[in-house]
Amino acid sequence: MTGKAVVGFIGVGLMGWGMAKNVVEKGYPLLVMAHRKREAVDDLVGRGASEVSSPKEMAEKADVIVLCVTGAPQVEDLLRREDGILAGARDGLTIIDTSTSEPDLTERLHAELSERGITFFDAPLSRTPAHAWEGELSTYVGGPEELIEKWRPLLSTWASVVIPARGPVGAAHAIKLINNLISIGYASIWSECYSMISKIGVEPEIFREIVSNSGMNCGNFQNYSKYVCEGDPKAHEFTLSNCLKDITYYNRLATRNGAATFMSDGALQLLKLGNTMGYGERNIPELVDVVAKLNGQGERTK
């Protein structure tokens, strides 16, 4: 026996695989569940994890379950379906939702599950799958300080930076949506700029050099530019369908709080067009191709 909590992990995709790898390698007993990427499950079992057949079985065996799935519908399904977490959950179970989900759902689940003796809180993620693999993600966490400190050792297996949101459960999911508006909003700007650079007959490398030597230079721009200038769509692996989901969630959050949505509205409409045009499963740097097509250009501005 390690004396550490038994961790169940659901969602061993791009981010979750690396996160779960760090959990088991850092000494936690780990339970994983079948995933569309069988390679990830087999790898984790090879590192010492045990496989379970359903969320219900996981809830019966785990002390804490980590969710790393697409969004709110997937979170709720994992909890409520016939063989879901709630069918097997016992008093004292903790559920940590690292997904990018809707804050109002997080708040409702926290209140509902608390009445059953189950703790539910949010700890969404920043950075990339490569950082997940190295245990160097950033996470921000909703809920009281004592709850965060209790689970900080586990959170720190995949995150080198753990930031308390200093707000109730749900606050971290709200902050995550605001943070994603920054990255997706900038992607929308880079898309328009690179398309315009092509329109005026200037090579995209010139624009990359100009911005790289200005106050606007950042990792977001450099990753985005690797696709436009070098043809590398995997420089930022985040699909346009996920971008649309996140900005939709952001706009709902803003509406709920009576806030103006000038910038997010523009990004939302561009992402709706991109998804309608069939680009949903392409990565975020390929948003430039959506703008290029709308401007009567071909794919990639180079």
Enumerate the active-site residues: 176
* Residue 286, amino acid: E
Tokens 């009576």 identify what position? 258
Is the C-alpha dihedral spanning 23, 137, 267, 255 positive or negative?
positive
| CB neighbourhood size of 216 (10 A) | 13
Work out the angle at residue 242's Cα, subtended by the Cα atoms of residues 224 and 197, and round it to the nearest 5 degrees: 30
Say how far apart CA 7 and CA 52 lie, in whole Å: 12
Give the CA distances from residue 254 to residues 8, 96, 168, 247, 251, in Å, rounded to whole numbers and listed in that order: 33, 24, 18, 10, 5
Say how far apart CA 36 and CA 41 lie, in whole Å: 9
Per DSSP, the residues of 145-175 read HHHHHHHHHHHHHHEEEEEE-SSSTTHHHHH
Say how far apart CA 162 and CA 164 lie, in whole Å: 7
| Secondary structure of residue 142 in the 3-state scheme | coil
Say how far apart CA 114 and CA 44 lie, in whole Å: 31
The secondary structure element, H or E, covering residue 246 is: helix 240-256
Return all residues near 146 (Cβ < 8 A) that are at least 6 apart: none
Please state the length of the chain. Answer: 302
Tokens 């708040």 identify what position? 107
In this structure, are residues 163 and 184 in contact, taking their beta carbons and an 8 Å threshold? Answer: no
In this structure, are residues 127 and 100 in contact, taking their beta carbons and an 8 Å threshold? Answer: no
